[in-house]
Amino acid sequence: MTGEAAFIAALRALAHHPAARGLEDDAAVLEFGGEALVLTHDMLVEGVHVLPGQDAADIAWKLVATNMSDLAAKGAEPVGVLLGHMLGPDDARFAEGLAQVLAHYGVPLLGGDTVSGGPPRAFGLTAIGRATHRPVPSRSGAQVGDGLWLTGPVGAAMIGFEALRNGTPGTDGDDSAAYRRPQALLAEGRALAPLVTAMMDVSDGLLLDAFRLAEASGVSLALESGAVPIAAPEKRRFDALSWGDDYQLLFTLPAGQEPPVRAARIGAVEFKGFVPLFLDGEPIANAAGLGYLHR
């Protein structure tokens, strides 16, 4: 067994509880005491998700924000978080950033665990949310004829990563914020939850995540690259489509319906063809090269 996809396939054989949603979704949805709890867990690893030596306050921010983005894709309201922290020389700075991001999202720290180890260091966070609409949106509900929508531009995190890595802020100052301190679209997710047929956040690249949504829904998606808003030079459009870390919401709405939030229509849902994704009419048969995959 090698690679992320193979390991997740093995885990699916163990994930029998309905809350797991077959491990095909951004988060688990647990019916409990008249509520639907939304549970998610994300990790960051130095040298993979953040740069070696990156400001620990920014790492704390990104750790919380990525988990909040998973809650946003379910239209959930944050309830609390549990932290898994690997100790290091910059723990005080990490705590400063954690305080900032928890205050930003109005979410309490409920507990967690600390360990020593590394390098590289790894950080984990479990986020707990409360669904604001039932049924809770999933990746698997897209219907033929739906429109495919995106809440905002992709490519900003790519540009931010390069600026931070190279130490070359843009002419308007530091343009690395989209990479260092992403924003989870919680309010947009709550507004969309009663209307969407499918929804997920874009974390690993728009093309890869669209491919995943199509597979989960058993449809094909026809995506128009020219309709996708990008925060990057036009010559780097494909890079922006596949880079990831922008945490926009990708969703489907019934034909003729307009979203209640700012968004761009970037394609349509079609009957399942011989591939899950068509990009400007060209078939894309597998996920290789479409975004970030752990090896």
Q: Roughly what angle, to the nearest 10 degrees, separates helices 91-105 and 56-72?
A: 30
Compute the mean pLDDT over every residue in the chain, rounded to the nearest whole number: 92
Q: What is the pLDDT of residue 283?
A: 96
Of residues 112 and 12, the one with the higher pLDDT is: 112
Q: Label residue 37 by pLDDT band (50, 70, 90).
A: very high
Region of residue 155 (left: phi > 0; alpha: psi -120 to 50; beta: else): left
Identify the residue whose tokens are 């390069």.
162
Q: Label residue 155 by pLDDT band (50, 70, 90).
A: very high
What strands lie across the sheet with 35-45, from one edge to the other?
28-32, 35-45, 122-131, 76-86, 109-115
Q: What confidence tens digit (pLDDT) does each residue in 175-227 have? A: 899 999 999 999 999 999 999 999 999 999 999 999 999 999 999 999 999 99
Q: Count Cα atoms within 13 angstroms, Cβ side, for 293.
A: 19
Q: What is the pLDDT of residue 24?
A: 82
Select 4-131's CATH number: 3.30.1330.10, 3.40.190.10, 3.30.70.20, 3.40.120.10. Answer: 3.30.1330.10
Q: What is the pLDDT of residue 246?
A: 95
Which residue ranges does the chain devote to CATH 3.90.650.10? 147-284
Q: What is the pLDDT of residue 169?
A: 59
Q: What confidence tens digit (pLDDT) does each residue in 58-92 have? A: 999 999 999 999 999 999 999 999 999 999 999 99
On the question of pLDDT at 231 being above 90, the answer is yes
Of residues 173 and 127, the one with the higher pLDDT is: 127
Select 147-284's CATH number: 3.90.650.10, 3.40.50.1820, 3.40.50.720, 3.30.980.10. Answer: 3.90.650.10
Q: What confidence tens digit (pLDDT) does each residue in 255-294 have? A: 999 999 999 999 999 999 999 999 999 999 877 778 765 4
The least confident of 136-150, 167-181, 217-231 is 167-181
**% pLDDT > 70, the chain:** 95
Q: What is the pLDDT of residue 171?
A: 45
- Answer for the pair 121, 44: CB distance below 8 angstroms, yes or no: no
Which residue ranges does the chain devote to CATH 3.30.1330.10? 4-131
User: Could you tell me which residues come within 8 angstroms of residue 40 by beta carbon, excluding any fewer than 6 positions away?
Assistant: 26, 27, 28, 67, 70, 71, 126, 127, 129
- Answer for the pair 73, 150: CB distance below 8 angstroms, yes or no: no
Quick one: which H or E segment has residue 188?
helix 186-192
